[in-house]
Amino acid sequence: MENKTQPANFNSVSAIDYLPVEQLRRHQLAQLRHVVAMTYEKVPHFRQRMDERGISPSDLKQLSDLAKLPFTVKTDLRDTYPFGLFASPMKDIVRLHASSGTTGKPIVAAYTHEDIKIWTSVMVRAFASCGLHAGDIIQNAYGYGLFTGGLGAHYGAEGIGATVIPISGGNTERQIMIMKDFGSTAICCTPSYFIHLIERATEMGINMKKLPLRVGVFGAEPWTQEMRRHIEEKTSIKAYDIYGLSEIIGPGVGIECQYQDGLHLHEDHFYPEIINPQTGEVLPDGTEGELVLSTLSKEAMPMIRYRTRDITALETTPCPCGRTLRRIRRISRRSDDMFIIRGVNVFPSQIEAALLAVEGTLPHYQIILTRDKGLDNIEVHVEVNAQLFSDKVRAVEEFQHKLSNSIEHTLGIRVKLKLVTPHTIARSEGKAKRVIDRRGETPNV
């Protein structure tokens, strides 16, 4: 295959990024027919949904027929928790990951050996798209563990032949020391954490512009063009947006190229549709709506028409980079009430359940998200009432700690809990606004 726009680090793994569109569509249809038939055979939950609609896998004759198939939503994962959507027996599954779900039960993701290879390959292509190659020193500050970010980036970084520093998240001073001493040329983390790193480095008297750091691969939470400008101004790096979700595979579903104008989807593995979130109707390319993804090659946990709840649009105009993969616009918001803080998915219902667990009654509460020096903070305000209140300071403080511990236990992140006077949390039409997101209000970041 010849392509003049191929980048210098073009390799066989990335060849598929430049496939002629017709060839890509043929590949997608063949894979989709295969994966739908396989899922129908092996996942009773999916078979039942298909049967209810009177649809059989053989009805899938062209890509547009996909619109006839049922959606998979987060509650399907919850209802079949933990392993109900697996299409492979446990002996073939080599890895489990998990992310937070809506009711305290996590969303589980499973991988066969082949799935790990696919995941690694899309991460390799993602890193190549960011201009990384053997010789780069990649500081991987995504959390290692159940969260897909850490290991996903790790395998991709090794796969491309770079040197990986598996430092995981947190410990800001050590991150900065290692970045400086080891000469990291690239970093992977959430964008808000990186902005925090910049602030801290400045306080420590380190000029990030003078470090060898030249590439940042940022994801796991929505971020803005303003944040990118800030990062690129304060450091010498080019900041790339990466997209992924553990239900589909983890990071590596989509990635920006050097033109930073939307994220190319690795659509040879993940087939995108944009739908109207209210009606479920498929929208034409270029129209804003909810992103729906179908996995085309994953074995352990195939996802057919998974509703991501992420609002974006599909760009089909050719990208100057030469990739034929369609791009999604930067994720601007979500169609449900989920928010992402420090890379962790949080649903207000989780906080509600945590508050309810303490005294058995649900106080009025509000979640306030702020961003201070690039670090996201979550504050939960809880209205006290006569039942939850005591004349003793110790009792009130204990109550406050019980609430914050319960939330921390559920979410796995530290929250600031503030007790407020009754009726001070605004209610509109009897229903309180649960989440106030002030993260975009900070002037420069």
Which residues are at the interface with another protein (CB under 8 A)?
Answer: 383-386, 388-393, 396-397, 400, 418-424
Q: How many residues does the chain have?
A: 445
Q: How far is the CB of 417 from another protein (least distance, A)?
A: 9
In sequence order, what are the residues at sequence separation of 6 or more whose Cβ sits closer than 8 angstroms to the Cβ of residue 349? 102, 103
- What distance, in Å, lies between the first and last C-alpha atoms of the chain? 43
Q: How far is the CB of 380 from another protein (least distance, A)?
A: 13
Mode of pairing for the β-strands spanning 250-256 and 238-245: antiparallel
Q: Which amino acid is at 26?
A: R
In sequence order, what are the residues at sequence separation of 6 or more whose Cβ sits closer than 8 angstroms to the Cβ of residue 95? 110, 111, 116, 151
Of 285 and 397, which has the nearer Cβ to another protein? Answer: 397
Of 94 and 419, which has the nearer Cβ to another protein? Answer: 419
Give DSSP secondary structure letters for 133-202: -TT-EEEE-SPPSSSHHHHHHHHHHHHTTPEEE---S--HHHHHHHHHHHT-SEEEE-HHHHHHHHHHHH
Of 92 and 383, which has the nearer Cβ to another protein? Answer: 383
Of 75 and 424, which has the nearer Cβ to another protein? Answer: 424
Q: Are 39 and 76 in contact (CB under 8 A)?
A: no
Q: How far is the CB of 427 from another protein (least distance, A)?
A: 12
Q: Are 315 and 262 in contact (CB under 8 A)?
A: yes
Of 64 and 424, which has the nearer Cβ to another protein? Answer: 424
State the DSSP H helix or E strand holding residue 383, giving kind and residue range, or none if neither: strand 375-383
Of 368 and 420, which has the nearer Cβ to another protein? Answer: 420
In sequence order, what are the residues at sequence separation of 6 or more whose Cβ sits closer than 8 angstroms to the Cβ of residue 267? 24, 28, 325, 326
Q: How far is the CB of 160 from another protein (least distance, A)?
A: 49
Q: How far is the CB of 368 from another protein (least distance, A)?
A: 15
Taking alpha carbons only, the member of 295, 269, 308 closest to residue 88 is 295
- Residue 164 to residue 178: CA distance in whole angstroms: 12
Mode of pairing for the β-strands spanning 215-218 and 186-189: parallel
Q: How far is the CB of 373 from another protein (least distance, A)?
A: 21
Q: How far is the CB of 393 from another protein (least distance, A)?
A: 5
Of 2 and 391, which has the nearer Cβ to another protein? Answer: 391
- Residue 238 to residue 234: CA distance in whole angstroms: 11
Q: How far is the CB of 424 from another protein (least distance, A)?
A: 8
Of 386 and 426, which has the nearer Cβ to another protein? Answer: 386
Q: How far is the CB of 421 from another protein (least distance, A)?
A: 5
Mode of pairing for the β-strands spanning 215-218 and 250-256: unpaired
Cα dist from 124 to 22, 97, 98, whole Å? 24, 20, 22
Which SS3 state, helix, strand or coil, does residue 306 take?
strand
Of 278 and 421, which has the nearer Cβ to another protein? Answer: 421
User: What residues pair up with 97 in beta bridges, in sequence order?
Assistant: 109
Of 409 and 418, which has the nearer Cβ to another protein? Answer: 418
Q: How far is the CB of 362 from another protein (least distance, A)?
A: 16
Q: Which amino acid is at 63?
A: L
